Structure 1
Amino acid sequence: METQAQKITVETTVNAPVGKVWEYFNAPEHIKQWCFAADDWHAPFSENDLKTGGKFTTTMAAKDGSFSFDFGGVYSNVVPESLIEYGMTDGRTVKVTFEDHGDSTTVTEVFDAEQTNPADMQKAGWQAILDNFKKHVEAN
């Protein structure tokens, strides 16, 4: 019997309309500006084919060159300005919702925990990336 993966939720409310939030969340030129958890990391590469069945890859790397990895997957469901669901290359799933409040948008990510790192560490990392996203959108 297969065990169900633990679900972790992170969320932020961005002070921007859903159209801008959607664009900045999905456009590679923007992803490279926010998709990392700490200031000593960056995202030097991103490509995104945002459609059901489309693939995406973002490289996250330490600025000192000591470590990098590709974060990617395949979209299973894309509803513009509302919902993104995808499977990561390791088989885990992610659901991202965009809740339109007019002048602000709530972005919620629910993802399957991996088995290597503690859940609270995973949540903190994903939340830090989402916080970077919020800062990037609101500053531009």
Structure 2
Amino acid sequence: MKPTLNYIVLTLVTVVFFFSCAKDRGPRLVVNVIEEDGTPAPGATVHAWPTDGPFECGSCIVDEKKMDQTTTADAAGVATFDFKYSVVLDVEVVYYKQGVDSFLQPIITDTLYGKKVVKIEEKRQRSRKNTYQETVIVK
């Protein structure tokens, strides 16, 4: 009876220990891409990469391939990036504004650019505080 009780107590302690540990989530960057008039820029290409800063120490980034990311903004003009570490990023946006020609065919009427430097920090908790919202205006 005593070994069975010890086994049950050990199992319960192990289960409580493993399920009480919160998983760390790296910082998330949410970029809202808008035009000067405030309308969203759907389909804009958003590129975020680690900046070298004023010192340009070469390859200071721990995992540069995971930190250099490119995505496309959704219909609301929102692009989301997930990172693993704290970093200072250059965020560059290119938006090809589309219109229609006289034959009602879609054409690119303008190319708009935007750039911003963003600092994101890793926090040791799973919370919404680990999400960074930034707005880039394309001109």
What TM-score does the superposition give when structure 2 sets the normalisation length?
Answer: 0.29
> Which one has a larger percent helix, Structure 1 or Structure 2?
1
What TM-score does the superposition give when structure 1 sets the normalisation length?
Answer: 0.29
Larger Rg: 2
